[in-house]
Amino acid sequence: MMQLWDSVASWTARRSEIGGRTIGFVPTMGALHAGHASLVRRCRAENEVAVVSIFVNPTQFNDPRDLERYPRTLAGDLALLESLGADEVLTPAAADFYPHGYRYRMQPASAALMEAAHRPGFLQGVLTIVMKLLNLVRPQRAYFGEKDFQQLRSVTEMVEEFFIPTAIVACPTVRAASGLAESSRNARLSPHGREQAAALYRALTSGRNPEDARRILEAEGLAVEYVEEHWGRRLAAVFLEGVRLIDNVPVPKTGAAE
């Protein structure tokens, strides 16, 4: 039976009982969708104990309105996790994760690129909470989706840099039939907006270069924040119906990675 832990203290006591069994971990901010489900299924298949966290981390939001609007669907999330076979679910409050405020934080190296450049403090907040969670859960493996590629890369580098004994497992992006990447933010789009948002994937895969992909996106009515190529990937962030969406794909053969 799945167990729920709503404080750091209660989870710490439970963690000592798990002992040497292999632990897989999926950190989330809730509003779970098919992409999260794929991570949990893989975690469940590859480990003796599957642990999931649900925590809307305030330190990674540079816009307070975005934090307020982030969907919170705890009851549905817990029902989904139980159906997927999760063993342990962590849901502590912000005051428990940051009992003394945001005093210490992880500083990413790629501060001038993409998400870090356009969302001040975002990667810093992500890395800080992931470091806290990895220290609390102490998993052998942690699972992250490729949709948030810069986040995935930053977490992987942090774990290597600080000799954290957790393998970061990269998992493919889950997409709708239209190509739209599954995201918690999709819930804020209208049905027409979801159809229109599929242009993001089409532009990234068909554009000859970032400039061409930007042109396609703008022609489809999406407001483009960036389209860039790094690490063999083509990455973009756009706005549609007031919702910020990101996606990335391997650089198409017609493109040239940085």
Dist. CA 63–CA 74, nearest whole Å:
22
Which amino acid does the sequence have at 113? L
Side-chain half-sphere exposure of 111, counting CA atoms within 13 A: 8
Taking the alpha carbons at both ends of the chain, their separation in whole angstroms is 48
Packing angle, helices 8-18 and 122-137, rounded to 10: 50
What backbone phi and psi angles, to 5 degrees, belong to 249?
A: -145, 160
Q: Which residues of 75-91 are buried (b: 16+ CB within 10 A; e: fewer)?
A: eebbebbeebebbbbbb
Under 8 Å between Cβ of 23 and 140: yes
Q: 141-145 and 23-28: which strand pairing?
A: parallel
* Residues comprising the chain, all counted: 258
Reply yes or no on whether 192 is catalytic. no
User: How do 223-230 and 233-240 pair as beta strands?
Assistant: antiparallel
Which among 33, 36, 118, 192 is annotated as catalytic? 36
Residues 6+ apart with CB under 8 A from 183: 33, 35, 147, 245, 246
Instruction: Please name the helix (run of DSSP H) or strand (run of DSSP E) that holds residue 89, with its range, or none.
Output: strand 88-90
Active site residues: 36
